[in-house]
Structure 1
Amino acid sequence: MSRAESDTTPWATEQEQILGDLDVRVDQGLTVQEAQARLERFGPNVLTDFRATSWLTILWRQLRSFIMFLLAAGAALSFALGDHLEGVAIVAVIVLNAMIGFVTELRAVRSTEALRELGSTETTVRRSGVVRRLPAEELVPGDVVLFEGGDVITADVRILTASRVEIDESMLTGESIAIEKKTDALPTDTAVAERNNMLLKGTSVAKGSAEGVVVSTGMDTELGRITALVQTATDRRTPLEERIDALGRVMGWLCIGLVTIVGILGAIGGKDTTEVVKTAIALAVATVPEGLPIVATLALARGVLRMARRNALVEQLSAVETLGSTSVILTDKTGTLTENRMSVTDVVVAGDDMRPTTIAIPTSMEVADLGERVSALLTAAALCSDASVSRDENGREVRVGDPMEVALLVALDRIGLDREQVLVNEPRIAEEAFDPDIKMMATFHRHADEFRVIVKGAPGAVFPVSRFVRAGSGTVAFDGRQLESWRAENRRLAAEGLRILAVAERAARSPSEPYRDLTILGLIALSDPPRTDIVESIEHCQAAGVDVVMVTGDQGPTAEHIAASVKLIEEDDKGQALTGKELQALLDEGEAGKERLLATRVFARTDPEQKLKLLSFYQAQGEVVAMIGDGVNDAPALRQSDIGVAMGKRGTQVAREAADMILLDDRFSTIVVAIEQGRIIFRNIRSFVFYLLSCNVSEIITVGLAAAASAPLPILPMQILFLNLVTDVFPALALGVGDSGRGIMEHPPRPKTERLLTGRHWAGLMGYGLVMSAAVLAGLGIALLVFEMEVKRAVTVSFLILAGAQLGHVFNMASATSGLLVNEVTRNPWIWAAIILCIGLLAAAVYIPVLSEVLGTEEPGKEGWLLVLTLSLVPTLVGQSMRAVRQVARRLGRPR
């Protein structure tokens, strides 16, 4: 039976009891009939997807906003009054905005689809006493399975026998080194990363072989549990989405208030109901910033293109801005801060003075330059390994095997030697696989008429079984003084965080008893180096007020050494890392453990659930959290985070599909670029939102004051839609893609609670709105009273004045510290292109008959154009005058 129905801790249960519970014999396995019955009972060994969200549900999410309801009400009233053209135009706006969000949300189920693909393989199974290969989907609890090097584990398996087996669990637990597996039962509370008697679905065999019994399949496996976490982890709304929604609610309630006031005043004044409704519709259209979603989306898309050129691929547009407000980055270690490739950095051989001498391994050097002792050491180490390094048909390097052994082969290649050529003269005839108990392995090679035994392992294991050390052309006794000097060199290198291997050899008459009377060839030091640009990138994050926190499945000392080497922590802070268990304990303490968690920069031995809990902890503190990862174990946190960032080259498909952004070059430094772009985009968004809403306010005031004075509408609903979707959008878009200036990364991230527009911004846009409205109403009054124009021509003049005033208003968006004539707005070529385009569209609105008929415009005449050219400049002149006054006041040392 499965873990879901009986024993939930197979790692803590003795083999005999597990086999009894599962009713299976190791030598026979399940019968074919019993296996079929269990398959029908437990179902196929696949990762089951939850009920997918329908496309109708996704579409409804786009239509349920407050602003959409107001626009729908306006469209309904237009149709009811017989103005079908106006109603169709408003409906078109609704559809356009809805489709923008609909298209992007269809990606929601990709994480689960990627996880499911891990199950498409075959497994060696013993059934009815016969060993056979079967599709992994057909495995059931109780199946006896066999795995060897290179196999993918296709279910959760309790190990029964193991022959020097090592498992690569980095994609599930985050552990960077292949894990040695045993068969003994473990304590019940053993963490997932330390259950060394289990083979977990989704991991792979790095070396050796194992036989075991399936205890869990499908969603009952650890990988299935992660799938459930990915499915249940909620997608959080980004700060930009929250700010725009809040802004929409403010404008929505303003619209309701204005429409209510107009209705009450109309009823009191006895006005015609149709006119009152038309005025209400005009106010509603003027209040709603129809162009805001379009401009925001296009501005974000522009930011996405910029980032793509810097190798940051964004899958969700709003994620760009989220990076700009990021305050905490949770990052994995292996493959993110480090290269995920071990390399030989130093070798130790006996010098001419018979003492151990450390030699750094260069990138390329002839064997003769390194010396016979060094070449003999690296050759022996490469011979005593099971990894391989080759090139495929495209000439790309393919590395297979344990990263440490791969590093030995690469080191041999770097000094100009080839293991395969050496094996021709010294073929391998036998092997003693690595034994974790004695921490050594051995290979036997035929050499002339005898055997050459090569041993590699931990120095503490090799030293006691050695009698000599290679020195010069001969050997010297490995006596007490030699032992102490070699131990000292080993300790020195280990203190630098390097992994040390000892390599020794001896001649033998037969391939047996390898671990005695050895001659030490030397030591080899290996490291998994940090990425070359990681220190600078972390320093840039810290300067920008962004905390970087390492969350890894590796052991604490290893994680702390990497953290110190990349300046994530100081050397004096070593020993302060928290394990997953300690993390859980501190979370359970509540406020008592809060300070300790916030002060910690390294979390080790964490599982996927603990990563999620740490992520939720930071989010509960009000932090905007970015999660960086590349493995299956990172997927839930990538999905739950404010923004998930996956590695493109080394990242698994699961991680990439769960993420909002993918680093195509796998460089942490790209995140710094992304954060900077996010901040620039937010500043640009604030600028064009200010511009759009000040234009909307001018329309609201214009229509509202005219209604209060019982004057003709200065601008018609269709004309307002034209302005909001055409002449307002293009200048706003140009603002959205402009340069926001320097020094943006010298400030801390914005608080998550900071509004898109502050009180100061609202006061400013109200002031500009009043100025533009005054210019429009003045033009309407002069056209009607002084030039005695007909209402249609006068309305055309006021429409053109408002359009011109809004176009000129874009120059008021320059920062207060920039020049009056030369600034980020006037230097932006897109601004000038937008103004020229809008002037052409305004001319078309007047002189093209079809468009003129739709908008209700006509040729304004000389007097009308004179009013347009003079009054439309008023807001620009006022705005630039205010900027000039502020700059003079700043130079004189007065407050702004």
Structure 2
Amino acid sequence: MKAASPESTNGEPIWTLGIDESLVQFSVDPTQGLASQDARHRQLQYGRNQLRAVQRRSILSIVVDQFKSIVILLLAAAGTLAILFGDYTEGLAIFAVIGINSMIGFLTEWRAVRSMEALKDLGRVNTVVIRDGVMRQIPADDLVPGDIVIFEGGDIVTADIRLIEAAKLQADESMLTGESLPIPKQVEVLTLETPMMERSNMVFKGTAITRGSGKGMVSSTGLNTELGHISELVSEAGSQQTPLEKQLNALGGRLAGVVLVITCLIAIAGILAGRDTYLAIEVAVALAVAAIPEGLPIVATIALARGMWRMAKRNALIARLSAVETLGATSVILTDKTGTLTENRMTVTEIRLSGVDVITDAMDAQDAATKSLLDDLLTTAALCNNASVQETSEGDMHAVGDPTELALLVAALQRGKRRDDLVEATPEINELPFDPDTKLMATFHRNNADVLVAVKGAPESVVPICRYLRTLDGDVRLTEQEGMKWLDRANELGNRGLRTLAIASKITSDAGGEA
């Protein structure tokens, strides 16, 4: 049995310890990392950095599962009796039905098992660590407590890690907490009572770095991570029979009892009537065979298999055939939304300009004046942005950053505005990062001899600091009454479940003052 990986070696939670104390507790130098020999020793002590793997279903187990139904066992018994009493046609027909039923069930479930294993293989990731004083990439499964890990925007966190460096670091923890907004990270000590979702000096296995870069020390691996605790709870839930399985087994049990009683009565009645004993038993067995519904299992299996194939076409994999019936009977599903039903990806759906509302799918259909105003807004949104969208060699888009900022970049790309090109034309010279108190962010860009300030944030923070409103006819003075109208529009959108942002810009000569 492997030892539990420690949150710290003295029993104090790692988030309550300072950086130097944490490193001492795990006996590691942040510049040299662990020695390879020490890492191997720790892996023997704590085990591999893996969650409890669900036992792989073998071909034999899948085959055996096809014969667990009482109805199938009754059919097998009936077929055997038919052959024993010389009715080879009936017996072989029954076994053919059993074989076809089992083959359909086996092939359907085996395909699902193979698909799930292929998905697991695609999910294997590597992690950048420092070992023996050298930065190297290793499989995430080989991480051990005390490893020094380096990560940047776009990386998946592969263990629970105490941060020792954080540069504008943010993490998407929606998988663990359901919070769709990226969480800012820092390295300072926290109190013992700090709940998991507020431990800003930690990053957790299964989450993703959306912005910035960082360096940290692995504190927990495998089942001892926060994600591991959740997986343990899930694994404790044992498998249960579905309603259909229960009903078929109940039917099979009642059918077996009735057939057995009637068969015995007929056999006894025939013998008491003076008929040949063998003939009386043969008649009773023939009646028993006829009473068992040979077509029921195959009809049920085909119906479930069809449902399973239809689900697969909609990108839903079901491991067990019997689960289709339960899913079909489900009327209410209680589930986490972010990262489960949704991908924590956002898109810009509406843009409210002065005098016109634009649906993003119809941006190219606007008149020239609207397009010009729209391009000004999207240019500002792309400049006041720390996300990144790059095209890979395969032609796919690789996106890294805050989901809201990524949505703005994608909208800008629809109008041909690439952030890299915009920053090249107007280089960024300063930034005021997003502040939860002010609820806005500003970037400063060199624009010939002047400075362009690009601002985005919550409408209630941005609108009050604006003095002008850009319209189709140019800039006009923004009155307090008009400002209140824009805030009302923002509230209206918010009531529809939309996240709202206000975008503003100005030309100034000050690259460090208030936006």
Q: Deviations over 1:430-457 (max 9, x none)?
A: 5555455654444343322454343434
User: Which residue in the other structure is 1:454 paired with?
Assistant: 454
Amino acid at match of 1:135: P
User: Which residue in the other structure is 2:500 paired with?
Assistant: 499
Whether the 8 Å contact between 1:442 and 1:454 is mirrored in structure 2 is yes
Q: In structure 2, do the counterparts of structure 1 residues 158 and 390 end up closer, same or farther at CA, with 3 Å as the change threshold?
A: closer
Q: 1:490 aligns with which of 473, 487, 492?
A: 487
Q: Distance in 1 between matches of 2:310 and 2:115?
A: 26
Q: In structure 2, do the counterparts of structure 1 residues 11 and 270 end up closer, same or farther at CA, with 3 Å as the change threshold?
A: farther
Kindly report which structure 2 residues correspond to 1:638-717, keeping only aligned pairs within 5 A, or say none. none
Tell me how far 1:493 sits from its aligned partner.
Answer: 1.1
Q: In structure 2, do the counterparts of structure 1 residues 308 and 212 end up closer, same or farther at CA, with 3 Å as the change threshold?
A: closer
After superposition, the CA RMSD in angstroms is 4.1
Q: Deviations over 1:792-851 (max 9, x none)?
A: xxxxxxxxxxxxxxxxxxxxxxxxxxxxxxxxxxxxxxxxxxxxxxxxxxxxxxxxxxxx
Moved more, 387-396 or 446-455: 387-396
Q: In structure 2, do the counterparts of structure 1 residues 422 and 16 end up closer, same or farther at CA, with 3 Å as the change threshold?
A: closer
Whether the 8 Å contact between 1:344 and 1:411 is mirrored in structure 2 is no
Kindly report which structure 2 residues correspond to 1:204-603, keeping only aligned pairs within 5 A, or say none. 204-301=208-305, 311=314, 315=318, 318=322, 321-330=325-334, 332-334=336-338, 336=341, 340-343=345-348, 345-347=350-352, 359-362=356-359, 363-364=362-363, 368-370=368-370, 375-389=375-389, 399-413=399-413, 417=417, 419-429=419-429, 431=431, 433-436=433-436, 439-458=439-458, 469=468, 482=480, 486=483, 489-490=486-487, 492-494=489-491, 496-497=493-494, 498-508=499-509, 513=512, 516-518=513-515
User: Which residue in the other structure is 1:198 paired with?
Assistant: 202
Moved more, 486-495 or 380-389: 486-495
Q: Distance in 2 between matches of 1:438 and 1:407?
A: 22
Amino acid at match of 1:454: A
Tell me how far 1:28 sits from its aligned partner.
Answer: 3.9
Q: In structure 2, do the counterparts of structure 1 residues 367 and 185 end up closer, same or farther at CA, with 3 Å as the change threshold?
A: farther
Q: Deviations over 1:365-388 (max 9, x none)?
A: 558423866643432221121334
Q: Distance in 1 between matches of 2:170 and 2:344?
A: 21
Q: Distance in 2 between matches of 1:432 and 1:517?
A: 9
Q: Distance in 2 between matches of 1:66 and 1:222?
A: 42
Amino acid at match of 2:348: S
Q: Distance in 2 between matches of 1:290 and 1:226?
A: 44
Tell me how far 1:120 sits from its aligned partner.
Answer: 2.6
Q: Deviations over 1:570-602 (max 9, x none)?
A: xxxxxxxxxxxxxxxxxxxxxxxxxxxxxxxxx
Count of equivalent residues? 500
Amino acid at match of 2:381: A
Q: Distance in 2 between matches of 1:5 and 1:262?
A: 76
Whether the 8 Å contact between 1:47 and 1:115 is mirrored in structure 2 is no
Q: Distance in 2 between matches of 1:128 and 1:290?
A: 68
Whether the 8 Å contact between 2:462 and 2:502 is mirrored in structure 1 is no
Tell me how far 1:27 sits from its aligned partner.
Answer: 4.0
Q: In structure 2, do the counterparts of structure 1 residues 434 and 55 end up closer, same or farther at CA, with 3 Å as the change threshold?
A: same
Amino acid at match of 1:298: I
Q: Deviations over 1:764-790 (max 9, x none)?
A: xxxxxxxxxxxxxxxxxxxxxxxxxxx
Q: In structure 2, do the counterparts of structure 1 residues 358 and 26 end up closer, same or farther at CA, with 3 Å as the change threshold?
A: farther
Tell me how far 1:289 sits from its aligned partner.
Answer: 0.6
Q: Deviations over 1:314-371 (max 9, x none)?
A: 75655554455333233554484799423162346xxxxxxxx575234225584238
Tell me how far 1:29 sits from its aligned partner.
Answer: 3.0
Tell me how far 1:258 sits from its aligned partner.
Answer: 0.8
Q: Secondary structure at the match of 1:343?
A: coil
Q: Percent identity?
A: 42
Q: In structure 2, do the counterparts of structure 1 residues 191 and 378 end up closer, same or farther at CA, with 3 Å as the change threshold?
A: same
Q: 2:164 aligns with which of 160, 167, 182?
A: 160
Q: 1:2 aligns with which of 1, 5, 11?
A: 5
Unaligned segments of structure 2, at least 5 residues: none
Q: Deviations over 1:105-125 (max 9, x none)?
A: 446867984785476322222
Q: Distance in 1 between matches of 2:196 and 2:154?
A: 22
Q: 2:43 aligns with which of 11, 35, 39?
A: 39
Unaligned segments of structure 1, at least 5 residues: 349-356, 519-896
Tell me how far 1:67 sits from its aligned partner.
Answer: 3.5
Q: In structure 2, do the counterparts of structure 1 residues 307 and 372 end up closer, same or farther at CA, with 3 Å as the change threshold?
A: closer
User: Which residue in the other structure is 1:606 paired with?
Assistant: none
Tell me how far 1:187 sits from its aligned partner.
Answer: 6.0
Q: In structure 2, do the counterparts of structure 1 residues 195 and 119 end up closer, same or farther at CA, with 3 Å as the change threshold?
A: farther
- Greater C-alpha Rg: 1
TM-score in terms of structure 1 length: 0.49
Whether the 8 Å contact between 1:381 and 1:456 is mirrored in structure 2 is yes
Amino acid at match of 2:493: E
Amino acid at match of 1:364: M
TM-score in terms of structure 2 length: 0.79
Whether the 8 Å contact between 2:82 and 2:289 is mirrored in structure 1 is no
Tell me how far 1:141 sits from its aligned partner.
Answer: 0.6
Q: Secondary structure at the match of 1:165?
A: strand
Q: Deviations over 1:480-517 (max 9, x none)?
A: x75x86467336514532332453445346x5x3xx34
Q: Distance in 2 between matches of 1:499 and 1:489?
A: 11
Whether the 8 Å contact between 1:207 and 1:401 is mirrored in structure 2 is yes
Q: Secondary structure at the match of 2:214?
A: strand
Q: Deviations over 1:719-753 (max 9, x none)?
A: xxxxxxxxxxxxxxxxxxxxxxxxxxxxxxxxxxx
Q: Secondary structure at the match of 2:41?
A: helix
Q: Secondary structure at the match of 2:219?
A: strand
Tell me how far 1:165 sits from its aligned partner.
Answer: 1.6
Amino acid at match of 2:347: M
Whether the 8 Å contact between 2:104 and 2:302 is mirrored in structure 1 is no
Amino acid at match of 1:166: Q
Q: In structure 2, do the counterparts of structure 1 residues 380 and 52 end up closer, same or farther at CA, with 3 Å as the change threshold?
A: closer
Q: Distance in 1 between matches of 2:454 and 2:503?
A: 11
Q: Secondary structure at the match of 2:363?
A: coil
User: Which residue in the other structure is 1:607 paired with?
Assistant: none
Q: In structure 2, do the counterparts of structure 1 residues 67 and 167 end up closer, same or farther at CA, with 3 Å as the change threshold?
A: same
Tell me how far 1:83 sits from its aligned partner.
Answer: 6.1
Q: Distance in 1 between matches of 2:292 and 2:390?
A: 63
More helix by share: 1
Tell me how far 1:282 sits from its aligned partner.
Answer: 0.3
Q: Secondary structure at the match of 1:404?
A: helix
Amino acid at match of 2:46: F
Whether the 8 Å contact between 1:334 and 1:340 is mirrored in structure 2 is no
Q: In structure 2, do the counterparts of structure 1 residues 137 and 280 end up closer, same or farther at CA, with 3 Å as the change threshold?
A: same
Q: Secondary structure at the match of 1:329?
A: coil
Q: Distance in 1 between matches of 2:450 and 2:45?
A: 59
Q: Distance in 1 between matches of 2:305 and 2:125?
A: 39
Q: In structure 2, do the counterparts of structure 1 residues 219 and 8 end up closer, same or farther at CA, with 3 Å as the change threshold?
A: farther
Q: Deviations over 1:54-80 (max 9, x none)?
A: 444443343344334444444554555
Q: In structure 2, do the counterparts of structure 1 residues 221 and 454 end up closer, same or farther at CA, with 3 Å as the change threshold?
A: same
Whether the 8 Å contact between 1:47 and 1:116 is mirrored in structure 2 is no
2:202 matched to 1:169? no
Q: Distance in 2 between matches of 1:508 and 1:129?
A: 47
Whether the 8 Å contact between 2:160 and 2:220 is mirrored in structure 1 is yes
